[in-house]
Amino acid sequence: MSIVQALPGNWLDTGDNAWQLTSATLVGLMSIPGLALLYGGVVKKKWAINSAFMVFYAFSACLVVWVLWAYNMSFGKGWLVMPGTGGNFFLGHPSPTTSAYNMEKEAIIPSAAAGMPALGYGMATMVYFQFVFAAITPIILAGAILGRMSFKAWVLFVPLWTTFIYSVGAYSLWGGGWLGQMGVVDYSGGYVIHLASAFSGFTAAAVIGPRLARDRESFHPNSLLLALGGAGLLWLGWSGFNGGDPFTVNVDAGAAVLNTHTATAVALLVWVILDVLAYGKPSVLGAVNGMITGLVAITPAAGYVNGTGAIILGVVAAALPWMTWNWLGKTALFRKVDDTLGVIHTHGVAALVGGIGTGILADPGMIEYFATGKDSAFSVTGWWYGNFHQVVLQLYGAAFIIVYNVVGTFILLKIIGLFVKLRFDDETLLIGDDAVHGEEAYAIFADGQKIPVMGD
């Protein structure tokens, strides 16, 4: 099946096409090598290879699933109709003649009825752009289950989760589904990606079970410098994450990029300040967590809020997850569920800050090119500007994503567990990479030979 077709006339906008491909590649770099390096550096040495390889596997498996059926499930013609709205409900129909945003046949040109300008690039560009968003979602989820999920179970989980969980959220908000038609907005994936991965990850952590007790008590990073390198790629790659989502090179793309980095810088500084006030020392890992919360919180809001809104989101995005991590994290529930990297805090809580914050701070003077189409300017008006209903809509959207991901992930893991073990056995957990892959992260020994040592 060809995913491009020649169009009559002068349809190709080389600038838009180049920016979408560049943005997509920046987002791809956030996963490989970004999160592969971050995960590989932040875990114990014995889990460095497995953690990084989980990222590479997920990226590859998701791409195959995406081009075969998941893209069309996420952005195709709806299967079901939401009663009372006349709008599509869950999944798009997997047909080669349908594509994103009511686009005509295999060309990236929206129908006149959609009320949107034509895009100046072919379907291959859009499929690639949407793929990197789909791929990073289970990769973020993996942060909650590092250090114990069976690799065989991961091999099954990623394509199935992409098909049955991710595609539903993507279609509901972005592909013409009921949440988008209601007016719920998610600029670049605060709900579709971060809220989904956080609550699915927390559910998976509960179902799979915890790491070994010794690993929970002591799980020091094997290379903070490696982790910082991955974190830096994550931060800079976010320029494509949010800057590409107007789907064209317009002024909103520039505003989204600036808002992204402003909110992130503020969040990092706030987290560091809170660490110093509480513990007397600035923590490098704390700074990375603050960076992530800022990136996550601005994601659903990047093209909808102004600069002041970005700063406000940066402050709240660090403060609230810092409190849930350091205070709620010590309660019985969070002690029982072993969320390895605290994804529920850095992605889940931060995504709620950003999503609900969009409902409060969305400036109608900001224009996101492909918004809900509720008015001729495609603008979104938040509570601060007189529209409290947008907050209600954002709460609806968050509730649906949370419930669907928790229930769907629980069922999916239980089914996978009927065929393979979800968790490594204790002996494998004790050894790590060498037991799983027959390889180790660092071979720094005399003459290249391994010197037996006790422990990790």
Domain count for the chain: 1
In whole angstroms, what is the distance from residue 24 CA to residue 430 CA? 38
The pLDDT score that the predictor gives to residue 284 is 95
Residue 199: HSE in the Cβ half-sphere, 13 Å Cα cutoff:
24
pLDDT band for position 401 (cuts 50, 70, 90): very high
Structure tokens at 26: 């920046």
The pLDDT score that the predictor gives to residue 16 is 87
How much helix, strand and coil, in percent to the nearest 5, is found in the chain? 65, 5, 30
pLDDT exceeds cutoff 80 at 102: no
pLDDT band for position 107 (cuts 50, 70, 90): very low
163 domain residue, yes or no? yes
Residue type present at position 373: G
pLDDT band for position 456 (cuts 50, 70, 90): low
Angle, CA 253 vertex, CA 249 and CA 257 arms, to 5° = 135
> What DSSP assignment string belongs to 256-300?
HHHHHHHHHHHHHHHHHHHHHHHHSS--HHHHHHHHHHHHHHHTT
Three-state secondary-structure class, residue 349: helix
385 domain residue, yes or no? yes
* Full residue range of the structural domain in which residue 285 is found: 19-448
12 domain residue, yes or no? no
10 domain residue, yes or no? no
13 domain residue, yes or no? no
Structure tokens at 400: 């649906």
- Whole-model pTM: value is 0.88
CATH number of the domain within which 441 lies: 1.10.3430.10
Highest mean pLDDT among 73-82, 249-258, 354-363: 354-363
Structure tokens at 33: 């090598």
Residues 222-269 pLDDT 10s: 999 999 999 999 999 999 999 998 888 888 889 999 999 999 999 999
Q: What are phi and psi of 77, to 5 degrees?
A: -70, 135
8 domain residue, yes or no? no
Residues 147-188 pLDDT 10s: 999 999 999 999 999 999 999 999 999 888 889 888 999 999
51 domain residue, yes or no? yes
The pLDDT score that the predictor gives to residue 73 is 86
Output DSSP code: residue 177: -
60 domain residue, yes or no? yes
The pLDDT score that the predictor gives to residue 330 is 83
Q: What percent of the chain has pLDDT over 70?
A: 83
Residues 312-344 pLDDT 10s: 999 999 999 999 999 987 888 888 999 999 999
Which tops the pLDDT comparison, 264 or 4?
Answer: 264
In whole angstroms, what is the distance from residue 196 CA to residue 136 CA? 11
Task: Evaluate whether 260 touches 238 at the Cβ level (below 8 Å).
Answer: yes
